[in-house]
Structure 1
Amino acid sequence: MKEVFASIITIGDELLIGQTIDTNSAYIAQELNKIGIWVKRRVAIGDGRQEILDSLAAESRQAQVVIITGGLGPTADDITKPTLCDYFGGTMIVDAGALQNVVQIFERLGRPMFDRNRKQAEVPDTCVVLPNLRGTAPGMWFEKEGTVYISLPGVPHEMIGLMQSSVLPKLKTTFELPVILHRSLLTAGKGESEVAEILLQFEAQLPNNVKLAYLPSYGMVKLRLTAKGSTETEVAPVLEQQFSALQQLVQQWLVVAEDIPLQEAVLNLLKEKGKTVATAESCTGGYLAHLITAIPGSSAVYQGSVISYANSVKEGLLGVPAETLATVGAVSEATVTQMARGVQQQVGTDYAIATSGIMGPDGGTADKPVGTVWIAVANRQEVRTRKFQFRFDRKRNIELTAVNALNMLRQLVVETA
């Protein structure tokens, strides 16, 4: 089985100073992996001619496919195209199809077109032009000494369009690709080290073409099995056999045997049971609602939220007694219990989640330091509460609160629905 390796080069000073987060590499790596190409390296470089030339030379020594994103815009700092022209020994020409695309876009938008916009249609004559159906900068495909080089726009929407319409289909016809298959599951309640101890013997007996990866995050551990082979017929049965054995070993802590986020697993469970849910959020400020409603089809399950950041809203809309807020405070078991019951009554759902806490960096006391959080989950019969003490920054404390709240709801639904 011959393996095909790829390198991804992302270009832009904004990536190096942290102004822009590189999501392109993650998407490209995932899509390449699906068709059997393994990404060996990901490199971020600045907008410098020599940096681009050096990176192209270095990556071509270890990968059959080099994908470059960024630096194809109409401004002076976008130097990828002329640098590629030099690297591949070409001459810049105007591609008629690319120019027509640019003209049509500006006519459709009713905007003036400048010479710098027309220059978007210029490409090295040593490349195969990949039409950009979502923007003005075309993609470019080069081949040199057995290596394929692909240059794509840095704008994620445009890059994704080119990957789907041109790059992936062309790679599949250019290379004889192996099969790479994955199966993933999510566990909660055990740390990475504990899970690894449980799976010690399992991991030792895995076939040579199957690997286990541990991906810990926010109190959960995702386990991914990856199998490689020549054909799907050869690989799939082996992978399924090992995945079935893995599920049995972690059954006690298994959240979902799919590669989906926790919120989607919870929504799927509620759909299966024909139940609905609402949220009452204080310290998470709508983050739970955001996670849930980002999932397509969530409206079948999720009914609404009360973001009760102020005590007056907790009291006025959710029925938290003024005496409770005055004596034990907003961050308390009594408060989240009534918040959960209150939102159920207001919205009329089968289940509810309530959160209240001190996210930081300020606001903590000796009795309730920063990171103190109370979570309640409720159905029509009972309310379950739990106190947490997180120790991170505001953003991560909010994320941890949301994950734990969703997992508490999942456990309640599993045990009672």
Structure 2
Amino acid sequence: MRAMVITTGEEILKGEVVDSHAAWISEQLCELGVEVVRHLSVGDNLSALKEVFSRVAGRCDVAVVTGGLGPTEDDLTTRAAAESAGVPLVEDPVASASVAAYFEGRKAPVPASNLKQARLPKGAACIPNPVGTAPAFSLELSGTRFWFLPGVPREMRFLMTESVTPAISGMQPKGSRLVKTAITTFGLPESVVGERISGIEAGFPGVHVGYRASFPVIEVKIWAFAGADAGLAQRQEAASAEALKRLDGYVVSEAGLSMPEAVAASLKGAGKTLAVAESCTGGLIGNLLTDVPGSSDWFFLSAVTYANSAKEKVLGVSGHTLETWGAVSAETVAEMAEGARRVSGADIGVATSGIAGPSGGTDEKPVGTVWIGVATEAGTETHRFVSPFKDRHMNKRVFAFKALDLVRRTLK
């Protein structure tokens, strides 16, 4: 099956809002074994909406449309769908009940403007919306089954998951499914990752390779739509094994986990806890780790000791060490990591101190230099790394990921 995704709204065309809907919907469709062939974005303009619907109708099996189902005058998607189908808008009893139930649950009257949301194209199948005011609906245009969803992210995702995905799954030919391996890498630029993976598609017919850069990691996806070809799933598995072999030493996860998620999984698997002492990264490591649900089980401390006085008072770094070797040194990060571990009682302490830039570098310690210390029961190791970037934000992110990667490797 082939699909297209249409996102609507002037805010998308003007760049005021990043279109994350299309990516998320495509991911859900691909998991069903549906091939997404095109993304389209269109503003809140009646003729433009009708033109896009006409262009899509008959050229794919399914289409998912988001946005424009609200109560205001610029919400034109429902009207455009009706005119594209050549049918009138009529009050739909299921939609009316959905709108009324939403406001009744909040002990509020239905505003007159929201009554518009109960009018759907004649013949459309209404999908009640228990988490918002705009019912979704489904309609066939020239052989293509369209689903129209509200643009509010929480509502869109709920209705896609609960209603649209099961419906599309039921339309799929028996046995059709996506087989995919998502490999997260760190430490190689995208061009080098591409060179290492080069030739896999040719060597394993029917298998596809995709890349997604999310600085500073690169994700490699090895995927195939397995259906009638019984051997395709095995070729995808073999291709994934070959990719892992070629990327050995730089693989963070074979399951598409982010760096923080991979560190969390390693800590949980080993039954270990972590404390962080940050200088140049300014709390970024702690922020990344606490974005992982359940981090309180294994994350004990985040200390941003930016000033030397804080390094001494909070972590117990020796004034002699700071005076002799400086803040950006192996000696200082070793004592910072040991101090974080001692103060918190964690199994592992990791510390960063460096020069993020754009100024502050010297010939001996240029911009992009970072020292990272990792302290465990077995002892303390220090590592020096020099980033090629001069941008402060890029360097902070590289430093943070480098520190997390060292923790991950310590746990292997």
Q: Decide: shared fold, TM above 0.5.
A: yes
Residue in structure 1 matched with residue 360 of structure 2 by the alignment: 364
Q: How many Å separate the matches in 2 of 1:109 and 1:388?
A: 57
CA change 1:173–1:389 in 2 (3 A) is: closer
Residue in structure 1 matched with residue 180 of structure 2 by the alignment: 182
Q: How many Å separate the matches in 2 of 1:327 and 1:55?
A: 68
CA change 1:107–1:359 in 2 (3 A) is: farther
**Structure 1, 343-352 or 105-114: larger mean CA deviation:** 105-114
Q: How many Å separate the matches in 2 of 1:265 and 1:332?
A: 28
1:402 aligns with 2:405: no
Residue in structure 2 matched with residue 12 of structure 1 by the alignment: 9
**Structure 1, 298-307 or 24-33: larger mean CA deviation:** 298-307
Residue in structure 2 matched with residue 209 of structure 1 by the alignment: 206
Match for 2:183: what amino acid? Answer: L
Q: How many Å separate the matches in 2 of 1:216 and 1:43?
A: 22
Aligned length: 409
Match for 2:394: what amino acid? Answer: R
Check conservation: 1:91, 1:126, Cα contact below 8 A.
no
1:259 aligned counterpart, secondary structure = coil
Q: How many Å separate the matches in 1 of 2:321 and 2:68?
A: 58
1:169 aligns with 2:166: yes
Q: How many Å separate the matches in 1 of 2:17 and 2:329?
A: 39
Check conservation: 1:352, 1:379, Cα contact below 8 A.
yes
**Structure 1, 196-205 or 250-259: larger mean CA deviation:** 196-205
CA change 1:391–1:247 in 2 (3 A) is: closer
CA change 1:197–1:253 in 2 (3 A) is: same
CA change 1:398–1:102 in 2 (3 A) is: farther
Gaps of 5+ in 1: none
Q: How many Å separate the matches in 2 of 1:94 and 1:309?
A: 63
Check conservation: 1:179, 1:231, Cα contact below 8 A.
no
Q: How many Å separate the matches in 2 of 1:263 and 1:273?
A: 15
1:36 aligns with 2:22: no
Q: How many Å apart are 1:128 and its aligned residue?
A: 0.9
| TM-superposition CA deviations, 1:53-95 (whole Å, max 9, x none) | 2222223353222211111122222222222222222222222
Residue in structure 2 matched with residue 124 of structure 1 by the alignment: 121
**Structure 1, 120-129 or 332-341: larger mean CA deviation:** 332-341
Q: How many Å separate the matches in 2 of 1:66 and 1:410?
A: 42
2:143 counterpart (143, 146, 152): 146
Match for 1:82: what amino acid? Answer: R
1:349 aligned counterpart, secondary structure = coil
Q: How many Å separate the matches in 1 of 2:181 and 2:94?
A: 42
1:115 aligns with 2:118: no
Q: How many Å apart are 1:288 and its aligned residue?
A: 1.7
TM-score (norm 2): 0.89
Alignment of 1:240-319 (within 5 A): 240-319=237-316
Q: How many Å apart are 1:369 and its aligned residue?
A: 5.8
2:132 aligned counterpart, secondary structure = coil
**Structure 1, 209-218 or 397-406: larger mean CA deviation:** 209-218
Check conservation: 2:99, 2:135, Cα contact below 8 A.
no
Check conservation: 2:59, 2:144, Cα contact below 8 A.
no
Q: How many Å separate the matches in 2 of 1:299 and 1:231?
A: 46
CA change 1:303–1:119 in 2 (3 A) is: same
Check conservation: 1:376, 1:386, Cα contact below 8 A.
no
Q: How many Å separate the matches in 1 of 2:335 and 2:229?
A: 53
Q: How many Å separate the matches in 2 of 1:408 and 1:215?
A: 23
Q: How many Å separate the matches in 2 of 1:198 and 1:369?
A: 30
Gaps of 5+ in 2: none
Q: How many Å separate the matches in 1 of 2:213 and 2:297?
A: 30
Q: How many Å separate the matches in 2 of 1:340 and 1:132?
A: 51
Q: How many Å separate the matches in 1 of 2:158 and 2:216?
A: 35
1:103 aligns with 2:100: yes
Residue in structure 2 matched with residue 391 of structure 1 by the alignment: 389
Q: How many Å apart are 1:325 and its aligned residue?
A: 4.8
TM-score (norm 1): 0.88
Match for 2:402: what amino acid? Answer: N
Q: How many Å separate the matches in 2 of 1:13 and 1:24?
A: 15
Q: How many Å separate the matches in 1 of 2:280 and 2:95?
A: 50
Check conservation: 2:6, 2:64, Cα contact below 8 A.
yes
1:225 aligned counterpart, secondary structure = strand
Q: How many Å separate the matches in 2 of 1:51 and 1:329?
A: 62
